[in-house]
Amino acid sequence: MPDKDTALLNVTGLKRYFDVSRPFLNRVFERQKRQYLKAVNGVSFSIKRGETFALVGESGCGKSTVAHLVVGLFPPSSGKIEFDGINMTALKNRAQLRPVRRRMAMIFQDPYASLNPRWRVSNIISEPIKAFGLINGRQAIIQRTSALLEQVGLSPQDSSKFPHEFSGGQRQRISIARALAGEPEFIVCDEPTSALDVSVQAQILNLIKNLQTKFGLSYLFISHDLAVVRHIADHVGVMYMGRLCEIAPVNTLFQNPCHPYTRMLLDTIPDIEKMGNECAPPQGEIPNPLSPPSGCAFHLRCPQATDHCINNRPELENIASDVKVACFQARS
């Protein structure tokens, strides 16, 4: 019996650099060096069984890259990903990765793009069942597909339809059914409600939450919106320019945000008590990731930045037993 308190996923020093150099001849004639975009630049976190770890931050900070690395869609430049004690980064080919991949699934932001428009729902959902050889026999697969559709609030009759016959929310339900088909323990949800109408978002979030309780799932839940994360996460990691700047339990983060960037993100959430007050949009612009600022990457936008922050980069360190912050001001 696995220990409930041990981490299911351990990510250590994860980096992914993308080579965005100009073509070889251009570099030779224009005397340019190779250029790397440091999309994920040393990220460490862990997720316990049955827990939801949320990754938040503005667009471009590296959230989806972390998601793709975690499920093994491409390899990290360096760092380690351990799933249930298995070092995924040491697995060299697809065949070795397969048994671990079966235990994970991913739900994408855009249910329009992530479902094959030419496939019937029955094929979309049963594909992981067949690919992993989980159930044999046509009738048994049909039964399982019907059960999955019911679990996500759709009807078994929907299995003969095509994705375009559904609304955005229903399509995301199909993606969820497909994710569940492989009987995963761990699901990476990359902005699963960002493409949906506000009224539908809550329904999908509730479904994701209920399925967690029912199947004891663990989630890496990605969102650019702290408000979405509040009701679903146990722990939150705030990302800025490829690094984590704060990790804390969700209530602690909302009551006592320590990093100035976390406070900036929280200020953008409309507050019912302060109704009528405009909520502040995030201040300043995200710097160009190809030429990141010196020192603390946030110093250009930070109201508390000092000379020390311009010249030195703060490491992510514990300021309480369950709170980690990368900020010189938070420690003093």
Ligand X SMILES: Nc1ncnc2c1ncn2[C@@H]1O[C@H](COP(=O)(O)OP(=O)(O)O)[C@@H](O)[C@H]1O
- Picked from Mg ion, ligand X, none, the partner binding residue 202 (CB below 5 to 8 A depending on kind) is none
| Residue closer to ligand X, measured from CB, 124 or 226 | 226
Under rule CB under 5 A, residue 64 binds Mg ion: yes
The contact pattern for ligand X, residues 64-103, with x = CB under 6 A and - = no contact, is xx--------------------------------------
- Picked from ligand X, Mg ion, none, the partner binding residue 289 (CB below 5 to 8 A depending on kind) is ligand X
| Residue closer to ligand X, measured from CB, 16 or 173 | 16
Give me the residue label for tokens 């990765």: 97
- Picked from Mg ion, ligand X, none, the partner binding residue 20 (CB below 5 to 8 A depending on kind) is ligand X
In the complex, the smallest distance separating the C-beta of residue 188 from ligand X, rounded to whole angstroms, is 12
- Picked from ligand X, Mg ion, none, the partner binding residue 37 (CB below 5 to 8 A depending on kind) is ligand X
The contact pattern for ligand X, residues 20-39, with x = CB under 6 A and - = no contact, is x----------------x-x
Under rule CB under 6 A, residue 223 binds ligand X: no
**Which positions touch Mg ion (CB under 5 A)?**
64
